[in-house]
Amino acid sequence: MSAITATDPAADPAAAGASGGRVLRGAGRLLRPLGNLVTTMAAVIVLWIIFLQVYNLDPLVAKSPADVWRYLFEGAQAGDHRSLVASGLGRTLLDAGVGFAAGLVAAVAVSLVFVLARSVEQALLPMAVVIRSVPLVAMTPLITLVFGRGLLATTVISGLIVFFPALVTMSFGLRSASRQAADLCRAYGGGDWMVARKVMLPSAVPAFFASARVGVPGALIGAMLAEWLSTGQGLGYAMLKDSSTFDYDHLWASVAVLTAVSALCYNVILAVETLALARFAPASRPNG
């Protein structure tokens, strides 16, 4: 009975304090992304207002945060306005999400091949650099010609934007694995792929999440570019029509909603990263 009492956190103030400290630290790690989101949106609103005041733009064209709020949440047609923005946003998020996942998975796979087979890296990396140097706007008509005007073309366009930065980041993360741990794995009979799975990939978890955070806004930009130049769907195409039909209320509302969604997705990934690193790599913490 005494042993049970000694290990009971309720009976041990030190253990209870340590448990409470862990809970508070965990709550703090989860609240930090929320604080980042609030700070980011507040900064965007302040810069938005300052921009309008400094350049003294025509109110017919330049809409303030208050104008966007009234468009989306006040008046008899606010519900229709929200539905219109939400329908375009849903399509853009689908396009961006598929492209984001495809680009990130491809970057992980290719970076693994590059790290394990240096001859393949030496042969293909110059080609990747050449492709990356070509503006995506110039490549979009060719991609559309090859892959059509549907989801596949959008996936390729947004995936390319995610792929190249993630490839560089993941390659660096994989190469940062402990050489001693890799040698130990090989000493027990592990091959290159075993070393990659047991040593390199766990070491590259921070690089993976960094690639994911950077890739979120890139995927949204790529999806909107594809919608603008290729598919004729989503907020990308809707915003193009807004500029020609002088529907600036919808245009600015779409930009505001996309900015908020991009910041939200970034901080959701940051929260997942914080939990993952706290569980599997306590020494590595995201900077936010």
Chain segment 203-247, per-residue pLDDT in tens: 889 999 999 999 999 999 999 999 888 888 899 899 989 988 899
Report how far residue 178's alpha carbon sits from residue 183's, in angstroms, rounded to the nearest whole number.
9
**Residue that wins the pLDDT comparison between 44 and 3:** 44
Q: Is residue 281 part of a domain?
A: no
Chain segment 124-173, per-residue pLDDT in tens: 888 888 888 888 888 888 888 889 888 899 999 999 999 999 999 999 99
Q: Is residue 284 part of a domain?
A: no
> What single DSSP character describes residue 201?
H
Q: Which two tokens stand for residue 278?
A: 């706290």
CATH of the domain at 214: 1.10.3720.10
Is residue 138 exposed (0-12), middle (13-18) or buried (19+ Cβ within 10 Å)? exposed
Q: CA quadruple 279, 283, 284, 286: dihedral positive or negative?
A: positive
Q: Is residue 235 part of a domain?
A: yes
Domain extent, residue 114, equals: 64-263
Q: Is residue 70 part of a domain?
A: yes
Q: Is residue 227 part of a domain?
A: yes
Q: Is residue 4 part of a domain?
A: no
Give how many domains the chain has, as a whole number: 1
Q: Is residue 277 part of a domain?
A: no
